[in-house]
Amino acid sequence: MNLAINGLVQRFTDPDGRRPPATVLDGLNLTTGDIQALVLVGPSGGGKSTLLRILAGLDVSTSGTVAFDGVPLPRDEKALQGYRRTVATVFQAYNLFPHLTAMQNLLLPLVHVHGLTEPEALERVREPLERFGLTAHAYKRPAELSGGQKQRIAILRALVVQPSRLFLDEPTSALDPEMTGEVLEMIGELKALGTQFVLVTHEMGFARKVADEIAFIVDGSVGAHAPAADFLDRCTDPRIRLFLDRTLHA
Amino acid sequence: MPRWLAYTLVLALLAAGGAWAFASLDMNWNWGLVWEYRAAFVRGWWMTVALSLASLLTSSLFGIIAAVMLRSRFTFAQAVARVYVELIRGTPLLVQLLIGWYVIAAALRVGSDQRYLVGVLVLSLFSGAYMAEIFRGGLDAIPRTQLDSARAIGLTPWQTLRLVVLPQAVRIVLPAVAGQLVSLVKDSSLLSVISIAEFTFNARNVNSATYSTLESYLPLAVGYLALTLPLSALSRWLERRFRYEAA
Ligand SMILES: Nc1ncnc2c1ncn2[C@@H]1O[C@H](COP(=O)(O)OP(=O)(O)O)[C@@H](O)[C@H]1O
Ligand SMILES: [Mg+2]
């Protein structure tokens, strides 16, 4: 994917008018090469989630443009709904619907959004469930799954609709360390499978492994942007070095 | 102490107390005369069942509309719903029925053959104000993150309501709705003040005809319990049945 972001502004106005409007993205620019995986890093509150929500078609920016492979993102809700059906998003937590089993969670978008029959949908999820070692958990409710299993089912649900791109917002930050590994491993396999994705993460070691390019988002704009190895090893910006040292030794 | 023993003991104590109270009254029971009127009891009981069910349906509708308005972004809709809920919950049903029938229905020239309709309507408005808070709680219990998830997988707002929000909200509110039906059954007895021939109204007529107060009203208590006890049990069962942790 070639991602081109130009002058992206996101300003939130308080509906009650008690607080002044907050400019969360402040004219952000970013142009990537033709890459498979983009990783966004940066300090908390810098605007990574806000940016990812716009890329995923969940929010509309105040102004500015975003284009994937030269195709600009629409701005009206109807067209955005269509766009969301071609991509997939995984949040930090609470992705699954608690009243449905893991299997029903997987089938829901296939049947109700993508028009598969139930047998077709079952056939579609059978092999991926097996490959990621989740078959034994398919008929459990989210409450009966561990945090890691829930996130893996959520990633699987995103995957089986065969999206053109995946957006992942800190998919491991709500997990215990021992479960982080299994989720990262799964994302690593996505990379091997050729899936295109944009990932927000604080796992620098993992970013080095999967990222083609890394963008450092701070104070609502891009503080630095480079191929993964350059960014991690040769970056001299003291702000970023400080951030990297902190995250690597956390 | 095992549960059955506890219940048996409580009921036995209650029966003993009742027996003692009635014995000290030195009653001359007159069940024979009241038995002649058994058809009136049965008719009234069924009328109470019908009125309660009709009011449950209508008040669910009022409750859902008011709950959605309470959560609406539009201040005016919010205000309308809030005033409705507070006015209704802050005044006695008796007053609402009298105003509804003798003032509003009279002003609208509603015929006296329509009193059942008006009765159900007022009772539904009354119960709907309580239902509104029940449904609002049910809707509030669905976290925003799930609405985000639903949007992210491409569901339309209508699909989100049908596949995500309602199935969960209904489970959450069902026990409370069953509890509200218990209240409706008892509250419907007030419809007698506008001469609706439900259970209480008929029992009162039997009393005036036979001058056997307790013989007229004791079956009334039993008849209401026959409705409310199973409903309470249902409410408790639903609560256990649908209790699961949010994930
Ligand atoms: N809907 C919103 N309304 C107001 N402020 C918001 C909203 N969403 C995010 N923000 C603010 O925007 C800033 C950036 O948030 P976010 O994009 O979540 O950062 P990050 O994901 O990098 O931690 C934060 O200060 C946050 O409080
Ligand atoms: Mg974030």
Nearest CA among B189, B164, B205 for reference residue B47: B189
> How many Cα atoms occupy the beta-carbon half-sphere of B147 within 13 Å?
11
Give per-residue pLDDT as tens, B93-133.
999 999 999 999 999 998 888 999 999 999 999 999 999 99
- Number of separate helices (H) and strands (E) present in chain A: 9, 10
Complex prediction ipTM: 0.89
* Residue B6: CB atoms within 10 Å: 10
Domain that holds residue B104: 37-246
CA of A173 to the centre of ligand 2 (A): 10
B154/A109 CB distance under 8 A:
yes
Give per-residue pLDDT as tens, A147-176.
999 999 999 999 999 999 999 999 998 888
Torsion, CA B45, CA B46, CA B47, CA B52, rounded to 10: 90
- Number of separate helices (H) and strands (E) present in chain B: 12, 0
* Chain B environment of A56 (Cβ under 8 Å): 152
Coil/strand/helix, residue A13: coil
In a domain, B8, yes or no: no
Torsion, CA A236, CA A237, CA A238, CA A243, rounded to 10: -100
In the structure encoding, which two tokens stand for residue B239, read together? 């609560």
> How many Cα atoms occupy the beta-carbon half-sphere of A54 within 13 Å?
27
* H or E element in which residue B41 lies: helix B38-70
* Chain A environment of B244 (Cβ under 8 Å): 98, 141, 143
CATH code where residue B54 lies: 1.10.3720.10
Report the residue count for chain A: 250
Mean pLDDT of B179-206: 92
pLDDT above 90 (res A19) = no
Give per-residue pLDDT as tens, B40-88.
999 999 999 999 999 999 999 999 999 989 988 889 999 999 999 999 9
Give me the phi and psi of A216, to 5 degrees please. Answer: -100, 115
Chain B nearest-CA distance from A208, in A, is 27
In a domain, B28, yes or no: no
Does residue B151 sit at the A interface (CB-CB below 8 Å)?
A: yes
Nearest CA among B155, B33, B158, B134 for reference residue A114: B155
* H or E element in which residue B14 lies: helix B3-25
Q: Tell me how far apart the alpha carbons of residues A171 and A167 are, in angstroms, rounded to a whole number.
A: 10
* Residue A78: CB atoms within 10 Å: 9
Q: Tell me how far apart the alpha carbons of residues A154 and B153 are, in angstroms, rounded to a whole number.
A: 11
Q: What contacts B96, CB < 8 A, 6 or more positions away?
A: B88, B122, B125, B126
State the total domains in chain B. 1
For residue A217, which atom of ligand 1 is closest to its CA? 22
In a domain, B58, yes or no: yes
In the structure encoding, which two tokens stand for residue A162, read together? 């065969």
In the structure encoding, which two tokens stand for residue B109, read together? 């020239």
pLDDT of res. A63: 96
* Chain B environment of A151 (Cβ under 8 Å): none
Query: How does residue B27 score in pLDDT terms, banded at 50, 70 and 90?
Result: confident
In a domain, B52, yes or no: yes
Q: Which residues pair with A27 in a beta bridge?
A: none
Asked whether B116 and B137 are in contact (CB, 8 A), the reply is no
Does residue B246 sit at the A interface (CB-CB below 8 Å)?
A: yes
Q: Tell me how far apart the alpha carbons of residues B159 and B136 are, in angstroms, rounded to a whole number.
A: 20
In a domain, B55, yes or no: yes
In a domain, B29, yes or no: no
Q: Tell me how far apart the alpha carbons of residues B21 and A78 are, in angstroms, rounded to a whole number.
A: 72
pLDDT of res. B177: 92
Q: Tell me how far apart the alpha carbons of residues A112 and A157 are, in angstroms, rounded to a whole number.
A: 13
CA of A72 to the centre of ligand 2 (A): 24
In a domain, B165, yes or no: yes
From residue B183, how far is each of B14, B50, B140, B177 by CA, in Å?
23, 14, 24, 10
pLDDT of res. A14: 83
CB of A220 closer than 6 angstroms to any ligand 1 atom: no
Sign of the C-alpha dihedral, residues A140, A142, A143, A146? Answer: positive
Q: Tell me how far apart the alpha carbons of residues A170 and A201 are, in angstroms, rounded to a whole number.
A: 5
Query: How does residue B244 score in pLDDT terms, banded at 50, 70 and 90?
Result: low
Mean pLDDT of B172-184: 91
pLDDT of res. B43: 94
Q: Tell me how far apart the alpha carbons of residues A89 and A70 are, in angstroms, rounded to a whole number.
A: 21
In a domain, B78, yes or no: yes
Q: Tell me how far apart the alpha carbons of residues A215 and A152 are, in angstroms, rounded to a whole number.
A: 25
Beta strand spans in chain A (E)? 3-12, 22-31, 37-41, 63-68, 71-72, 87-90, 165-169, 197-200, 213-218, 221-227
Does residue A94 sit at the B interface (CB-CB below 8 Å)?
A: yes
Give per-residue pLDDT as tens, A63-74.
999 999 999 999
